[in-house]
Structure 1
Amino acid sequence: MTSPLYPSDTKVAYNITDDDVEKIKAAIDIDELTELVLTLGNIPSQSRFEAESSQFVFDWLQDNGFKTRQCGATPERQNIIGEYGGTGMGKNLLFTAHLDTESPSDDPHINKHRFTEQTLANPEWKTCWLEDGKFHGFPIYNDRGPMSCFLIAAKALKKAGFDLAGKLYLTACPGEIGPEPMEQYEGVDYLGKDIGANYLFHHGGVVADYAIAAEGCDWGVTWQGCGYVLYRIQIFGEGVFTPILDAPTDVNAHPNPIYKLGPVIDALHSWSLKYEADNHYETAGGVSIPKAQIDAIKAGSPTSFGAGTDICSVYLDVGLTPQQTAAQSYHELKQVMSTLDIAGYEIEPMVVRNGYEADPTAVSPLVKSLCDATKAVNGDAIERAHPAYSSMWRDHNVFNMQRVPAITTGMPRFAATPEDLVKSALIYALTALSVCGKQ
């Protein structure tokens, strides 16, 4: 039965055979893949500190005979590009995954005011291991597990003697998770997505017909993703020297804007629930649900206490589906704030990144190739990914933004087994063979 993910008349460059499956599968060494994912996963690589992991990927590609280069906005944060194939006239496919992993900050002061001691002590932030047949560790989950899979996939194609007509790009990028320049943390040192896959697209010497952001998707696929806008909503009031303050009985009459947070938070929360429900966006390629929550609050200074504050800032993270712009939520939030009994307010979008989606017709050959490969390996037809995976930023957004049809797909997000990674590597290899064609 034809998958509903693509039209029935969709053509691919090359139809994989059972013989192809067996040859490539035989070229994938489960022990080598396990060693690679654990070695790469255990290299410290939080955002802004990806240099060691990027150098490891560069060396691995070179050692395994791939044409390799690097490009970066700064010397410490390089995008790595490996190439294979391209000896004929086939389509080019680009794999990408990110080197950075979510983790507490390198600044202990920030961590002290954001995480509990128990959270900070979680070994999975920076350590990876295999236990009871399952991988553990955030670096493997996100995103060096899927990265290892496509590296081994390319090596298996090479080892099995498959010369690709189109070119296969193998890329590892910094900064997909973040950070973003913000307040006093400004400049190139705090750039995230701008110096990762986006920089790679413009300066990496890559010309892709299709792209795959290799990420844990529980075997699902989506070709759309949300962006986001981070608003700073400043609430104005008056700081009054504590000894001369005549504190009002009604908390809402207090001059200090911190005391206005109760009704402000209530109003923002009510708005966010309606916003999420009203802007639910569903296509054949995924379900995007734009969620919102308060990420931070900043007011006054404990080093200069005794007189309250004139300003209280609320930082609100708002999702953007591929159909939305920041202007919509800006005007809605302005309306919400105008109804509150406060001295004044200002709403400023500190970061804006739109969501994107692939053209369903343009992406269909890539989707069919992936579906054929997944069916050959797992025996089941691939399904649309869970809405969480199409409601977040992943770097397929970068390529869809540039009109390069792109998807995100991959292994189980959490607690994958070595056998899962072998299957994922095989699916990636077969997809590449189908897209690029055999020379």
Structure 2
Amino acid sequence: MNPRDLLADLISIDSVNPDLVPGGNGEQEIAGFCTTWFQRNGFEVHRLERRPGRPSLVAVKKGTGGGKSLMLNGHIDTVGLAGYDGDPLEPEINDGRMFGRGAFDMKGGIAAMMIAAARATERPLRGDVIVACVADEEHGSSGTEEVLEHFTADAAIVTEPSHLEVTLAHKGFVWFDVEIHGRAAHGSRPELGIDAIAKAGHFLVALEQLGRDLAEGPKHHLLGTGTVHASLISGGEEASTYPATCKITLERRTVPGESPQQTEDELRTILDHLTATVPDFTATLTRGLARDPFEADPEAEIVRTLIANLGEPPVIRAEPFWTDCALLDRAGIPCLLFGVDGGGAHAATEYVDLASLDRLTEVLTATITGFCD
């Protein structure tokens, strides 16, 4: 069993997330491949497909009893193929690297955890080994959400790429829509109109100040501070009309200790102040998708077990982006993130360092054995 050969097979399967790219191939084909592979290696396989055409699979090798269970989690969907430099589905090896869409994010992690699970269970362990190959992480994480409705474990490792560094925290995010209300009128009748776009300028200035205040506030020891930015803006209908509305979509990135409600309260405080101080200012705030930040307990047994199997002092890191670790943690499963080295996630050229792929497989194999047995 060779993780390099398995990775090449995985790269060659188109698994573009159709929520990102309309018409994308989705996870059906790659889930079928993984199902056959796991069954051939003695795992029982459970297919979860609440969203038709968007399957996740959970492969289980049951233990003999009395040991702890461990879940390995990784996503089998990728971002799009357009704009890739070369053939994104034809894996190529050059200078110790394998290139192809998903090589780094994150089919390298998938290959490593599949091989590690098979190697570690060649002889029976006391605890169950659970391998979750999930759909839709690149968009809405519906795959891991569905898996956690049916499966749990005593601990988990997410094999997102981390450059072989131990990732114990990452940021969350909350999306908001702010709709500034004006009054439509012909441009020749200023006494009748209220310019929603001009009023929105007051909010944007206050939003910029909130960003400065956050940057100067308390810092998380790994992640720094939360951030906020305006992402989208729209308003108006034609040059000769006062705009009745102006809609601003914004993103608030959060660090551990910050909640969606706290971020909503920040924005409501700003809007209430503007309503009280700016003539004719009115606005509606709507909270959208929210994902919690994540922070692992560095003394958790799974963290200590993995670090012990590194054989060298670990580099502890945190990520500014969100991962499925937060969902596992919220479900009461202690976890961490540990994956391959490489680069080019979502880029025109993507690759995994093959030595790191081998090393990840070794560390995962030893960690599974040590934790479950």
Q: Is the TM value for this pair above 0.5?
A: yes
In structure 1, distance between residues paired with 2:224 and 2:154: 25
In structure 2, distance between residues paired with 1:359 and 1:58: 33
**Counterpart amino acid of residue 177 in structure 1:** E
Q: What is the correspondence of 1:237-386 to structure 2 with a 5 Å cutoff?
A: 237-241=182-186, 244=188, 255-282=194-221, 286-287=222-223, 289-300=225-236, 307=241, 309-340=243-274, 341=278, 343-361=281-299, 363=300, 365-375=301-311, 380-385=312-317
In structure 2, distance between residues paired with 1:293 and 1:394: 20
SS of structure 2 residue aligned to 1:65: coil
**Counterpart amino acid of residue 280 in structure 1:** K
Structure 1 residue 436, shift from structure 2 partner: 0.6
String of CA shifts for 1:342-386, please: whole Å, max 9, x gaps.
62112111122222434454x2x21121112211xxxx321212x
CA contact (8 A) 1:134 1:417 kept: yes
| Higher helix fraction (1 or 2) | 1
Corresponding position of 1:88: 65
Quickly say closer, same or farther: Cα 1:132–1:255, change in 2 above 3 A: farther
**Counterpart amino acid of residue 79 in structure 1:** S
Corresponding position of 2:347: none
Corresponding position of 1:10: none
SS of structure 1 residue aligned to 2:315: coil
Which residues of structure 1 form unaligned runs of 5+? 1-27, 105-119, 179-191
In structure 1, distance between residues paired with 2:249 and 2:65: 51
Corresponding position of 1:401: 330
Structure 1 residue 133, shift from structure 2 partner: 2.9
Quickly say closer, same or farther: Cα 1:270–1:369, change in 2 above 3 A: same
* TM-score normalized by the length of structure 2: 0.84
CA contact (8 A) 2:56 2:133 kept: yes
String of CA shifts for 1:193-226, please: whole Å, max 9, x gaps.
2x221211112xx331001111111112233333
In structure 2, distance between residues paired with 1:413 and 1:273: 33
In structure 1, distance between residues paired with 2:173 and 2:87: 24
String of CA shifts for 1:120-165, please: whole Å, max 9, x gaps.
624489546333332334522222211111111123334xx43221
CA contact (8 A) 1:410 1:424 kept: yes
SS of structure 2 residue aligned to 1:77: coil
SS of structure 2 residue aligned to 1:82: strand
Corresponding position of 1:219: 164
CA contact (8 A) 1:371 1:382 kept: yes
In structure 2, distance between residues paired with 1:140 and 1:293: 31
In structure 2, distance between residues paired with 1:51 and 1:279: 45
Quickly say closer, same or farther: Cα 1:279–1:75, change in 2 above 3 A: farther
Corresponding position of 2:147: 200
**Counterpart amino acid of residue 281 in structure 1:** H
Quickly say closer, same or farther: Cα 1:256–1:146, change in 2 above 3 A: same
**Counterpart amino acid of residue 350 in structure 1:** G
Structure 1 residue 314, shift from structure 2 partner: 1.0
Structure 1 residue 255, shift from structure 2 partner: 3.5
Structure 1 residue 433, shift from structure 2 partner: 0.7
In structure 2, distance between residues paired with 1:210 and 1:288: 27
Corresponding position of 1:150: 113
Structure 1 residue 434, shift from structure 2 partner: 0.8
String of CA shifts for 1:224-256, please: whole Å, max 9, x gaps.
3332210101112233345x355x9xxxx9843
CA contact (8 A) 1:292 1:317 kept: yes
Corresponding position of 1:102: 79
**Counterpart amino acid of residue 416 in structure 1:** V
SS of structure 2 residue aligned to 1:202: helix
* TM-score normalized by the length of structure 1: 0.73
Which residues of structure 2 form unaligned runs of 5+? 20-25, 344-350
Corresponding position of 2:102: 139
Corresponding position of 1:183: none
String of CA shifts for 1:77-127, please: whole Å, max 9, x gaps.
1220111241232110000011222349xxxxxxxxxxxxxxx62448954
String of CA shifts for 1:175-195, please: whole Å, max 9, x gaps.
2222xxxxxxxxxxxxx22x2
CA contact (8 A) 1:47 1:101 kept: no
**Counterpart amino acid of residue 196 in structure 1:** G
RMSD (CA atoms):
2.8
Structure 1 residue 291, shift from structure 2 partner: 2.6
Corresponding position of 2:362: 426
